[in-house]
Amino acid sequence: MSASNENGSRSGQRAGVFDVRQVIAALFVLYGLVCTLMGLFGTSSREIDQAAGVNINLWSGIGMLIFAGSFILWGWLRPIVVPTDSESESS
- The total of other beta-carbon atoms located within 10 Å of residue 59's CB is 14
Asked whether the beta carbons of 76 and 8 are under 8 A apart, the reply is no
Q: What is the CA radius of gyration of the chain?
A: 20
For the stretch 16-49, pLDDT in tens is: 667 899 999 999 999 999 999 999 999 999 999 9
Overall average pLDDT of the 59-86 stretch: 91
CA–CA–CA angle 43, 65, 16 (5° rounding): 145
Domain ranges in the chain are 19-81
The pTM for the full model equals 0.74
The pLDDT of residue 81 is 83
Q: Which residues contact 71 (CB under 8 A, 6 or more apart)?
A: 21, 22, 24, 25, 28
